[in-house]
């Protein structure tokens, strides 16, 4: 089978021929139908973050396909089921975080396409317990972006405690942001979408954004304050400066949710203003299996729209370049 492999940080992925992986106990092998290209995969391949993956590795954590083989002891799924394999590839199920509904914080977690090989391959392995069933009414090409971009932004909207009548700023309308706009609307918010390309701002408008802010020509903080300030701002832009701007656009009692992970990103905020304004700054990492089931249910009900373009697995390097240069539709989804 073919797989796209990161051999050295910052270099193009290499398409390699590898044996089809065989499932161990509790595992499944999935035959890929659709595999989303998350910006996290680009950070992984570049070695952008303090904790780096061990080379070589196969990126990808929005993998959808049919179960091809099951290992010993697997009862939750069978050959032929369509499943989605997310970033949270495994969590222990025993620690304080797992037991309190925060399996995404488990210190013993394994991450698909980072600490274990991922879904940029014709076949990939998954822990059966962490592969989500894709409902019959959800197309695999819609399911792929929902598997990370969807669950992550659904969770961020929940962590931000978005309420009806809240003004919600979505900073960055890419793969994650185009779904964040929709979840913020579902939770009742008024949405201000911020981006730096005409296409992304138009997309946000098409998906229901109420206010559009072009960060090339407008100061997003001032624009948000003109509307009374954001109750919630969700940082999804791969631009360190955009967090401070979003912070400055909050109203009193506002919540800034950090999601994007620019290389070596830092955020400096004034203590005095944060205290006096009762501001919250919260990091949000993907979502749980329960959150992903909710995301698929909303899609099956027709309440969300996934915007994507498909590309061949073999053209993964051109696809990465298109994401980095703003030439991609909301999400690129690789096919075998």
98 near Zn ion, rule: CB under 5 A: yes
Could you say which residues in the range 282-311 bind ligand NAD, by CB under 6 A? Answer: 284-286
Could you say which residues in the range 37-96 bind ligand NAD, by CB under 6 A? Answer: 38-40, 43
Binding map of ligand NAD across residues 217-256, x = CB under 6 A, - = no contact:
-------------------xxxx--x--------------
- DSSP H helices in 249-315: 271-276, 289-300
Task: For residues 264 and 49, give the distance between their C-alpha atoms in angstroms, rounded to a whole number.
Answer: 7
**Residue 112 binding partner per list Zn ion, ligand NAD, none, with a CB distance cut-off of 5 to 8 Å that depends on partner kind:** none
**Residue 39 binding partner per list ligand NAD, Zn ion, none, with a CB distance cut-off of 5 to 8 Å that depends on partner kind:** ligand NAD
Chain position carrying tokens 């989804």: 333
Task: For residues 122 and 112, give the distance between their C-alpha atoms in angstroms, rounded to a whole number.
Answer: 15
Chain position carrying tokens 């300030």: 229
For helices 39-46 and 316-324, angle between their N-to-C axes, nearest 10 degrees:
100
215 near ligand NAD, rule: CB under 6 A: yes
105 near Zn ion, rule: CB under 5 A: no
Q: Would you say 213 and 220 are in contact if contact means Cβ atoms under 8 Å apart?
A: yes
**Residue 196 binding partner per list Zn ion, ligand NAD, none, with a CB distance cut-off of 5 to 8 Å that depends on partner kind:** ligand NAD
* Cα–Cα distance list, 72 to 37, 77, 93, 115 (Å): 31, 12, 19, 23
Pick 122 or 291: Cβ nearer ligand NAD: 291
- The token pair that represents 28 in the structure block: 């499944």
153 near Zn ion, rule: CB under 5 A: no
How many Å separate Cα 74 from the centre of its chain?
A: 27
Window contacting Zn ion (CB under 5 A); options: 68-76, 146-154, 245-253, 297-305: 146-154
Binding map of ligand NAD across residues 174-203, x = CB under 6 A, - = no contact:
xxxx----------------xxxx--x---
* Beta strands at 110-111 and 88-90: parallel, antiparallel or unpaired: antiparallel
38 near Zn ion, rule: CB under 5 A: yes
Q: Minimum distance from CB of 66 to ligand NAD (Å)?
A: 25
* Cα–Cα distance list, 147 to 51, 56, 315 (Å): 22, 24, 21
**Which one of 40, 104, 111, 112 is in contact with Zn ion (CB under 5 A)?**
40
**Which one of 118, 140, 172, 254 is in contact with ligand NAD (CB under 6 A)?**
172
How many Å separate Cα 34 from the centre of its chain?
A: 15
Q: Minimum distance from CB of 170 to ligand NAD (Å)?
A: 9
**Residue 236 binding partner per list Zn ion, ligand NAD, none, with a CB distance cut-off of 5 to 8 Å that depends on partner kind:** ligand NAD
Q: Which of 323, 336, 274 is nearest to 37 (CA)?
A: 323
168 near ligand NAD, rule: CB under 6 A: no
Pick 285 or 300: Cβ nearer ligand NAD: 285
- The DSSP code sequence of 163-222 is -TT-EEEEE--SHHHHHHHHHHHHTT-EEEEEESSHHHHHHHHHTT-SEEEETTTS-HHH
Which residues would be at the binding site for ligand NAD (CB under 6 A)? 38-40, 43, 148-149, 152, 171-177, 194-197, 200, 215, 236-239, 242, 259-261, 284-286, 323, 326
């Amino acid at each position: 089978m073919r797989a796209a492999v990161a051999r050295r940080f910052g270099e193009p992925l290499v398409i390699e021929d590898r044996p089809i992986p065989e499932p161990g106990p509790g595992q499944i092998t999935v035959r890929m139908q659709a595999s989303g290209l998350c910006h996290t995969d680009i950070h992984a391949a570049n070695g952008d973050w303090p904790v780096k993956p061990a080379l070589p590795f196969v990126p990808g954590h929005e993998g959808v396909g049919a179960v091809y083989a099951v290992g010993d002891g697997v009862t939750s799924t069978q050959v032929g089921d369509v499943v989605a394999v997310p970033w949270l590839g495994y969590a222990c199920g025993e620690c304080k975080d797992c037991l309190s509904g925060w399996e995404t914080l488990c210190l013993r977690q394994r991450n698909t396409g980072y600490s274990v090989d991922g879904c940029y391959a014709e076949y990939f392995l998954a822990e059966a317990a962490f592969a989500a069933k894709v409902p019959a009414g959800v197309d695999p090409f819609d399911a792929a972006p929902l598997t990370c971009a969807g669950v992550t932004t659904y969770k961020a909207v929940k962590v931000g405690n978005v309420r009806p009548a809240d003004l919600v700023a979505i900073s960055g309308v890419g793969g994650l942001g185009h779904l964040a706009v929709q979840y913020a609307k579902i939770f009742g918010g008024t949405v201000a979408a911020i981006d730096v390309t005409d296409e992304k701002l138009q997309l946000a408008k098409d998906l229901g954004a109420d206010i559009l802010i072009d960060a090339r020509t407008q100061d997003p903080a001032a624009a948000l304050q003109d509307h009374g300030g954001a109750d919630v701002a969700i940082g999804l832009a791969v631009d360190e400066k955009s967090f401070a701007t979003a912070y400055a656009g909050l109203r009193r009692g506002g919540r800034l949710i950090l999601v994007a992970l620019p290389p070596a990103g830092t955020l400096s905020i004034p203590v005095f203003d944060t205290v006096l304004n009762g501001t919250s700054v919260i990091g949000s990492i993907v979502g749980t299996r329960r959150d992903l089931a909710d995301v698929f249910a909303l899609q099956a009900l027709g309440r969300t729209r996934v915007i994507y373009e498909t590309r061949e697995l073999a053209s993964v390097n051109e696809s990465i370049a298109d994401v980095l240069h703003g030439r991609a539709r909301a999400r690129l989804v690789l096919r075998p």
